[in-house]
């Protein structure tokens, strides 16, 4: 499976997953750039996967369904919120697409209540749930839900998993990571690496889950240095540390 990031809108990414006789798009926020990527791939579109209902992830669905007549996958909770949703999914549902593409839907509430991460072929398409070096805001769910989604559900995936998220936010997320853990070598190294990529006009996404575990504060709630940032020791739960991180990040400039 070849995976192509498609820049959309200001800082969104749609993802095109290509096999020899078809392709699938994740989170088409607008149709134009996705149509161009499909044409360049020279294979037919087989399905659309939506990670959640926000307009900057589903804005291109209507036009793509009109043009290609493909099914739309999303969480059952979002049946009335994702345009043209025709394949409602629940946690743990597995589905096979054309050409050997197979995915599992993991329900990861927090950013929204119907958020889904699609896992397959060594990749996880996380939308606005797990960002590279950060995580999405809590628009609908609680900190405890998001903590369980990130560190429970997605926490079970192996280090080698490629994380493909919905936005180019890595650099600003790393500024917060360095604020929480100053002088942490892996974070400093990643800041330099991402700056070099961006200078060359390259995306900073995807990244391996193992790198996230070493640098993403929201996956490091049990690390003593992260707890010490809030004056906390080993006592508070991971969900409580997560809530403190999310609250501080919400107003971090």
Residue 86 makes CB contacts below 8 A (sequence gap 6+) with 71, 72
Asked if 57 is an active-site residue, the reply is yes
What are 168's two structure tokens?
């180019």
Interface stretch with Zn ion, choices 37-45, 49-57, 168-176, 183-191 (CB under 5 A): 49-57
- Contact positions with Zn ion (CB under 5 A) in 152-181: none
| # chain residues binding Zn ion, by CB under 5 A | 2
121 has catalytic annotation:
no
Do the bridges between strand 72-75 and strand 45-49 make them parallel or antiparallel, or are there none, so unpaired? parallel
Choices 83-91, 125-133, 216-224, 234-242; region in contact with Zn ion by CB under 5 A: 125-133
Distance from C-alpha of 199 to C-alpha of 168, rounded to nearest angstrom: 13
In the residue annotation, 159 being an active-site residue is answered as: no
For Zn ion, which is the closer residue by CB, 7 or 236? 7
Judged by CB under 5 A, the residue of 53, 54, 75, 107 near Zn ion is 54
State yes or no: residue 53 binds Zn ion (CB under 5 A): no
CA distance 13 to 16: 10
53, 75, 77, 167: the active-site residue? 167
Inter-CA distances, 196 with 200, 201, 203, 210, 222, Å: 6, 9, 10, 20, 30
| 46 belongs to the binding site for Zn ion (CB under 5 A) | no
Of the residues 53, 75, 111, 229, which is catalytic? 111
Is residue 128 a contact point for Zn ion (CB under 5 A)?
yes
91 an active-site residue?
no
The residues of the shown chain that bind Zn ion, judged by CB under 5 A, are: 54, 128
């Amino acid at each position: 499976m070849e995976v192509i990031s498609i820049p959309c809108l200001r800082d969104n990414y749609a993802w095109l997953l290509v096999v020899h006789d078809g392709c699938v798009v994740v989170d088409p926020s607008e149709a134009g750039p996705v149509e161009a990527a499909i044409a360049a791939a020279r294979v037919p579109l087989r399905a659309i996967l939506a990670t959640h209902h926000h307009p900057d992830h589903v804005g291109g669905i209507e036009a793509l369904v009109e043009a290609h007549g493909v099914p739309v996958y999303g969480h059952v909770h979002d049946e009335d919120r994702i345009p043209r949703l025709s394949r409602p999914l629940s946690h743990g549902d597995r589905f096979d697409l054309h050409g050997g593409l197979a995915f599992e839907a993991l329900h990861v509430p927090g950013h929204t209540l119907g958020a889904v991460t699609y896992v397959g072929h060594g990749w996880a398409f996380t939308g606005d749930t797990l960002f590279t070096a950060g995580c999405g805001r809590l628009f609908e769910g609680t900190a405890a839900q998001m903590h369980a989604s990130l560190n429970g559900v997605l926490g079970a995936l192996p280090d080698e998993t490629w994380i493909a998220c919905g936005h180019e936010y890595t650099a600003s997320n790393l500024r917060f990571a360095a604020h929480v853990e100053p002088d942490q070598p892996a974070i400093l190294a990643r800041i330099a690496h991402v700056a070099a990529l961006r200078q060359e006009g390259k995306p900073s996404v995807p990244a391996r889950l193992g790198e996230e575990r070493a640098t993403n504060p929201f996956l490091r709630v049990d690390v003593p240095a992260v707890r010490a940032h809030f004056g906390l020791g080993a006592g508070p739960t991971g969900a409580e540390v997560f809530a403190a991180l999310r609250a501080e990040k919400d107003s971090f400039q």
